[in-house]
């Protein structure tokens, strides 16, 4: 039977013939590096990738750079990367419709997920994809290349990652078993030998500090007291030393101070006896290349007498005995004041206003003739590490509880009054408006679903030969326009609904406060539902920010406008 003449799809309106207007693509340049950029000349760095992409985009007359999306130090074996997630968010809102990468391995090394994006997600969203070094462009790729060659390269990249991960893990284990040091940074007190980077040698700048720490401990000083002494003497902490010596560029290290945990780690580390203990932290697999776990002791790789010791066996053993005695004393004291302890109502809420650090809750427990005394205070951690580093603060918890309770009571009383006034104007007309908006939103959701289904099936219809490439392009543009229009209308309706809810009795502020209109005392649930942050200034002045503080002012302002004649 002869094939009938193909009719034009009625969904696509006929337009007068006119010269086609060249499309300009809104480009997102995506760069990724698995390891933190070393900055070594000739290496593949974030900067060199970005320069390549920007130069390429500049040469393309149909491309306009919108933004650069970067994931530095992120694995390519999954797509849980902040830069990529931001890129996809911009694609969904129409800000980006073209992605340019250096090569496919920069985009991702996971075969299944990469193929899903290239073959399904990007065609559905109408996104062009360009891999420069592989001369691949979905705008010009032929069917066989798009359907076979790129997935094959994905498989190669995926296999490459697996193989590299296995080989690296095997090489590291072998070096550790032979007593070679494979850490990024040498332990504090040592440095890597210039002759052999896998061998440790004593660092004359920091080794004396290690000896002083053991000496202070053996004289009976506590961990916190040792840390304070070192900070007062302006001795750089391990992190600060790495930054100052140029071994690390992490700004968080620059001003870091000695802390209790630093002292504890040093006093129990056998590396100062000349032994290497490695493999305490291991990576699970190449799929979780950034996910580490602490290995059990039987999996550690221990090598004895690999380098010159800083501390002798006798001093090290004495320090361990002191630690055991302190542990036994602590365990013996456990439970003696359990009946006087109270929960920490302000956990993760109270901060020093000067240094920005979370304040530490410390307990004071004494036995006196008049009975047992047990109370809590909040202290600035920076001051504890070094006197003068921050304004000293010592806020009694009992005082804090009283101030917060009064503040919440005043706030809840005001919210209760506002709730009553809102209920008076929340009339039947408003409810009718909400019902109408709800019906409109449901209708737009149906249109969105229909457009999504039509778009999803278009590519398969093209592959099956049901429609031509020209018809595919026309229908895709038409359905995408329908989808965007319905999406915009739906979002507008939802915004109107949320605005009405915000000014009505269903505002979350009212829901949160109604359960607390009669407050007798503070509870952890009450504090964390209504208090956002507490900052402590000099002389224990408090700044208490409430969760619904701004919301209260917004609703009150709206209400005043409605009630005006």
> Quick one: CA dihedral 480, 482, 488, 493, positive or negative?
negative
- Domains of the chain are 25-165 (3.40.50.1390), 190-330 (3.90.1750.20)
The structure tokens 């010596």 sit at: 245
Strands (E), 235-369: 276-278, 281-283, 292-294, 301-303, 350-352, 360-368
Q: Which one, of 538, 321, 508, 279, lies nearest residue 415 by Cα?
A: 508
Residue 6 pLDDT:
47
Mean pLDDT to the nearest integer, 495-511: 76
**Between 285 and 539, the higher pLDDT residue:** 539
Rounded to whole angstroms, the Cα distance separating 334 from 336 reads 6
Question: Which is nearest to 525 in space by CA: 281, 361, 346, 365?
Answer: 346
Q: 176 versus 478: which is more confidently predicted?
A: 478
pLDDT tens digits, residue range 537-553?
988 899 999 999 888 88
Residue 26: both structure tokens together: 């809104």
Q: Please give the residue that has the higher pLDDT: either 403 or 440.
A: 403
Which residue would you say has higher pLDDT here, 412 or 497?
Answer: 412
Residue recorded with tokens 């002798």: 312
Contact 351, 536 (CB under 8 A): yes
385-409 burial by CB neighbour count: b if 16+ within 10 A, else e? bbeebbbebebebeebbeebbebbe
Count of residues making up the chain: 565
Residue 179's pLDDT band (cuts 50, 70, 90): low
pLDDT for residue 249 is more than 70:
yes
Residues 6+ apart with CB under 8 A from 454: 475, 479
**pLDDT tier at 156 (50, 70, 90 boundaries)?**
low
Task: Give CA–CA dist 164/145, Å, rounded.
Answer: 27
The yes-or-no verdict on residue 300 having pLDDT over 80 is no
The CB-based long-range contact list for 448-456 (8 Å cut-off, 24+ gap) reads 448/483, 448/486, 448/487, 448/490, 451/479, 451/480, 451/482, 451/483, 451/486, 452/483, 454/479, 455/124, 455/479, 455/480, 455/483, 456/124
More confident residue, 535 or 369: 535
What is the pLDDT averaged over residues 12-32?
A: 73
**Whole-angstrom distance, CA of residue 551 vs CA of residue 438:** 24
Nearest CA to 29 out of 80, 68, 83 is that of 68
Q: How far apart are CA 31 and CA 102, in angstroms?
A: 7
In contact, 400 and 383? CB cutoff 8 Å: no
Q: Which residues contact 335 (CB under 8 A, 6 or more apart)?
A: none
pLDDT for 386 equals: 85
Q: What's the rounded Cα separation, in Å, for the pair 31 and 425?
A: 54
Choice between 356 and 285, residue whose per-residue pLDDT is larger: 356
d(CA 35, CA 182): 16
Dihedral (C-alpha) 28, 32, 38, 44: value to the nearest 10 degrees?
-80
The whole-model pTM stands at 0.50
Each residue's pLDDT tens digit, 338-373? 667 788 999 999 999 999 999 999 887 766 655 666
Contact status, residue 65 vs residue 90, Cβ threshold 8 Å:
no
Average pLDDT of the residues of the chain:
80
Q: Which helix (H) or strand (E) holds 382?
A: helix 381-385
Specify the pLDDT at position 337: 64
pLDDT band at 144 (very low <50, low <70, confident <90, very high): very low
Q: Going by C-beta distance under 8 Å and a sequence separation of 6 or more, which residues neighbour residue 351? A: 357, 358, 359, 533, 534, 535, 536
Q: In sequence order, which residues have a C-beta less than 8 Å from that of residue 54 and are 6 or more positions away?
A: 29, 65, 68
What is the helix (H) or strand (E) element at residue 457, kind and residue range? helix 428-463
Query: 31: which 2 tokens?
Result: 């760069």
Residue pair 529/515 in contact by the 8 Å Cβ criterion: no
Over residues 318-344, the pLDDT tens digits come to 999 999 988 887 777 666 666 677 889
- Higher pLDDT residue, 30 or 44? 30
Residue 469, pLDDT above cutoff 60? yes
Q: How far apart are CA 128 and CA 138, in angstroms?
A: 6
The answer on pLDDT for 270 being more than 80 is yes
Tokens, residue 294 = 């602490």
Q: Tokens in use for 402?
A: 């009283």
């Amino acid at each position: 039977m002869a094939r009938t003449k193909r009719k034009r799809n009625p969904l696509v309106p006929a337009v007068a013939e006119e010269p086609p207007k060249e499309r300009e693509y809104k480009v997102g340049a995506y760069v990724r590096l698995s390891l933190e950029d070393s900055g070594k000349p000739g290496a593949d760095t974030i900067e060199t990738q970005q320069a390549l992409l920007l130069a390429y985009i500049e040469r393309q007359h149909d491309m306009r750079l919108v933004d650069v999306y970067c994931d530095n130090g992120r694995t390519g074996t999954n797509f849980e990367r902040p830069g990529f997630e931001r890129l996809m968010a911009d694609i969904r809102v129409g800000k980006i419709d073209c992605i340019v990468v250096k090569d496919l391995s920069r985009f991702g090394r996971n075969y299944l997920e990469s193929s899903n994006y290239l073959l399904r997600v990007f065609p559905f969203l109408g996104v062009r994809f360009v891999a420069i070094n592989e001369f691949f462009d979905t705008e010009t790729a032929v069917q066989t290349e798009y359907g076979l060659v790129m997935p094959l390269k994905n498989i190669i990249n995926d296999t490459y990652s697996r193989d590299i991960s296995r080989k690296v893990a095997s090489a590291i284990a072998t070096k550790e078993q032979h007593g070679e040091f494979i850490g990024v940074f040498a332990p504090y007190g040592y440095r890597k030998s210039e002759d052999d980077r896998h061998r440790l040698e004593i660092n004359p700048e920091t080794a004396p500090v290690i000896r002083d720490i053991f000496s202070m401990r053996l004289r009976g000083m506590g961990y916190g007291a040792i840390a304070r002494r070192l900070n007062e003497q302006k001795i750089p902490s391990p992190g600060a030393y790495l930054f100052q010596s140029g071994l690390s560029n992490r700004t968080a290290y620059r001003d870091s101070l000695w802390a209790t945990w630093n002292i504890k780690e040093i006093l129990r580390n056998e590396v100062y006896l000349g032994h290497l203990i490695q493999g305490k932290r291991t990576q699970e697999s190449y799929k979780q290349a950034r996910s580490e776990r602490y290995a059990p002791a039987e999996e550690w790789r221990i090598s004895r007498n690999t380098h010159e010791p800083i501390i002798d066996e006798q001093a090290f053993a004495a320090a361990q005995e002191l630690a055991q005695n302190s542990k036994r004393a602590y365990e013996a004291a456990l439970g003696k004041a359990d009946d006087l302890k109270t929960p920490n109502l302000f956990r993760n809420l109270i901060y020093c206003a000067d240094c920005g650090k979370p304040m530490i809750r410390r307990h004071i427990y004494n036995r006196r003739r008049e009975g047992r005394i047990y109370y809590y205070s909040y202290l600035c951690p920076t001051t504890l590490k070094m006197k003068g580093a921050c304004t000293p603060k010592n806020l009694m918890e009992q005082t804090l509880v009283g101030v917060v309770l009064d503040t919440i009571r005043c706030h809840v009383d005001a919210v209760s009054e506002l709730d009553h006034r809102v209920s008076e104007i929340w009339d039947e007309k408003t409810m009718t408006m909400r019902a109408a908006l709800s019906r409109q939103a449901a209708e737009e959701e149906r249109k969105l679903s229909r457009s999504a289904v039509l778009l999803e099936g278009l590519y398969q219809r093209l592959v099956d030969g049901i429609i031509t490439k020209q018809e595919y392009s026309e229908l895709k543009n038409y359905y995408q326009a329908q989808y965007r229009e319905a999406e915009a209308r739906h979002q507008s309706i939802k915004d109107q609904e949320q605005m009405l809810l915000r000014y009505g009795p269903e505002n979350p502020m009212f829901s949160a406060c109604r359960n607390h209109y009669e407050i007798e005392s503070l509870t952890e649930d009450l504090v964390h539902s209504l208090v956002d942050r507490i900052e402590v200034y000099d002389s224990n002045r408090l700044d208490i920010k409430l969760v619904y503080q701004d919301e209260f002012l917004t609703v009150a302002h709206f209400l005043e406008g409605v009630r005006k004649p």
